[in-house]
Structure 1
Amino acid sequence: MVIDRSQVCIFIPTLNEEPTIGELISRFREQGYSDIFVMDGNSTDRTAEIAEKAGAEVVLQQSRGKGNAIIESIGYFRRPYILMLDGDMTYLPEDAEQMIEPLFSGCDHVIGNRLEFPEKGALSRLNLFGNKVINDLFRMAHGRYLADILSGYRAFTLESIRQMNLREEGFGIETEISSESIRNQQKITVVPVHYVKRPGTATKLRPFHDGAKIISTLYRLAKRSNPMFYFGMIGGVITILGALTGIYVVFEWLNDIEHLPLTILTALLIMGGIQVFMFGILSDIMLANQQELRREIQSLKNQRPPQ
């Protein structure tokens, strides 16, 4: 399929990417992409200056964090298709065409799976393990396996990214984008892309700190897209605590020792856990009805004759 590059905006959120940003923009321009937009997170080096000289439109970010960079940028997009990638040259411009092509075939959101072809040394064993755990947890929480939910190489239609209700300020933004895409029932395609060692700039990731934050974000977002998982986990933990105290109470009772306050606590924990679990079931039913209503509205919009 022939891709109309004039319909594509290359979007690059940056923070101190002086060694790589110029070459990255030049390689995209060599491929025929003229609309290159950089949202700079107030870099302390010459990133913004180099990007502007290389031919990109540069806007300085008002707040901090990658998530805020993406959220602020949505209002600047004018092209019908957006290709987003980091400015550190870990993703290759040569993979752009296969990222964009599904959009021209009716896809809403494309995720570049960097775990398919990582260059040797680009991802540590800890990174690979952490990504696998997070991807599996995402499948449990949101009901779909997307191979690499933390990928920074993504493509969207303008309509699909505007549908997303994005709030995450930092590195949790990729998880939220994946979650919102599923919640809005968008057509998602995963394509393999190359991932190379970060040249010239130090990584901004802190594996344990950021990993814990991403897992927390993943679980919190399940409240909107999979309430049964979210409330079921809470209800399950409370019920298990009640069951454990109950076992202790029964064991003591068999030894002619009564624990009336603990017995009351056990009953409250078990009843509370079951109630939270039932709330998850009701929320899940409400979500299913909401999704069905959304599908009906979309179907009516599609059937409406053009003006």
Structure 2
Amino acid sequence: MPRIAVLIPCWNEALTIEKVVTDFRAVLPEADIYVYDNNSTDGTAEIAKRAGAIVVHEYWQGKGNVIRSMFRDIDADCYVMTDGDDTYPAEAAREMAELVLSGRADMVIGDRLSSTYFEENKRPFHNSGNVLVRRVINLFWGRGREEIRDVMTGYRAFSPLFVKTFPILSEGFEIETEMTIHALDKNLLLMQVPVSYRDRPAGSVSKLHTFRDGARVLKTIFMLYKDYRPLRFFLAAALVLTLISLSLFLPVFHEYLATGLVPKMPTLVTSGFFMVAAVISTGIGLVLDTEVKNARKNLEIQMNMIRMLMK
């Protein structure tokens, strides 16, 4: 029988964690349900243990840190990740797991935004933030692919290939964005399943800080674009530097043609510095692009070795 692991990262979810564990146990009775408690002070760990979950304590604060430990510690044929706040329906877990177990997906996204998210979610800036992040991701990574409809959902299923080759760098809520970009950039099999969404019950408080965590997500997208697509990134920088250089140089050159004099020598020198910076930026992009391609080759070899070990 395939081994299925349900992963539930938690921080102060005493109000909902028992129901989440019970619901997923009903849908996936053969699964091992793991609750990784991230320094809760409201008894979340004790409630989860009484509900039948395997409870592990992760003391390094942050959702990304919790998921890093989960992926390192747990071996399974399919991983289903959800949140402990009872906003995702357990009923979708079987379909998501089957997509992974049948080999049709390395990551399955539980898509909230195509169903009830905008009606249920009571935080308007979260709505606009999700739409903004989705558009940016599809702009940078979505060419020739099916549009990613929900980048920041916490409801996902993974193959062992994804889990054991995903280098987690994020520490907080930007982890879902990093997962999505990794799957797109590495050409992993990606499927999307629309799931209903319900807002947190009364008394349950979101741990997501709209503006602070939103800024972290956008920073993550920016940094990963630089890391994964360095040639495009540094060519864009070189283009900007070139335009600045030309905007400074052309008036000086025009005056030189008209008078034979260069009265604005500092401006001419500054334009030269900008042009040199543009050339350097292009060189950096070419070098880093070669490094990224070599890293992609190494990752492909690692994936092949993991597939051999899984057989």
Instruction: Give the TM-score range, shorter chain.
Output: 0.7 to 0.9
In structure 2, relative to structure 1, the CA distance for the partners of 1:292 and 1:78 (3 Å cut) is closer
Partner residue of 2:15 out of 19, 23, 40: 19
Residues of 2 paired with 1:90 and 1:215: CA distance? 24
Residues 141 and 219 in structure 1, CA contact (< 8 A), matched pair in contact too: no
In structure 2, relative to structure 1, the CA distance for the partners of 1:237 and 1:186 (3 Å cut) is same
Deviates further, 182-191 or 168-177: 182-191
- Report SS of the residue matched to 1:262: helix
- Report SS of the residue matched to 2:167: coil
Partner residue of 2:112 out of 114, 125, 138: 114
Residues of 2 paired with 1:153 and 1:206: CA distance? 19
Structure 1 residue 194: Cα displacement: 1.4
In structure 2, relative to structure 1, the CA distance for the partners of 1:295 and 1:23 (3 Å cut) is closer
Residues 24 and 87 in structure 1, CA contact (< 8 A), matched pair in contact too: yes
Deviates further, 178-187 or 263-272: 178-187
Partner of 1:41: 38
Residues of 2 paired with 1:300 and 1:184: CA distance? 16
- Report SS of the residue matched to 2:151: coil
In structure 2, relative to structure 1, the CA distance for the partners of 1:286 and 1:68 (3 Å cut) is closer
In structure 2, relative to structure 1, the CA distance for the partners of 1:240 and 1:178 (3 Å cut) is same
Residues 38 and 56 in structure 1, CA contact (< 8 A), matched pair in contact too: yes
TM-score w.r.t. structure 1 length?
Answer: 0.86
Residues of 2 paired with 1:33 and 1:300: CA distance? 28
Residues of 2 paired with 1:293 and 1:87: CA distance? 36
Alpha-carbon deviations, 1:248-286, whole Å to 9, x = none? 656877798722122111121123124313432453355
- Report SS of the residue matched to 2:109: strand
Residues of 1 paired with 2:252 and 2:94: CA distance? 65
Residues 63 and 172 in structure 2, CA contact (< 8 A), matched pair in contact too: yes
Alignment RMSD, CA only?
Answer: 2.9
Q: Tell me, which stretches of 5 or more residues in structure 1 are unaligned?
A: none
Residues 77 and 158 in structure 1, CA contact (< 8 A), matched pair in contact too: no
Alpha-carbon deviations, 1:121-172, whole Å to 9, x = none? 3164432322222122223333454222211111111232110111111111
**Moved >3 Å (runs of 4+):** 140-145, 243-257, 281-302
Amino acid at match of 1:129: S
Residues 135 and 149 in structure 1, CA contact (< 8 A), matched pair in contact too: yes
Q: Percent identity?
A: 30
Residues of 2 paired with 1:56 and 1:89: CA distance? 15
TM-score w.r.t. structure 2 length?
Answer: 0.85
Aligned length: 302
In structure 2, relative to structure 1, the CA distance for the partners of 1:17 and 1:71 (3 Å cut) is same
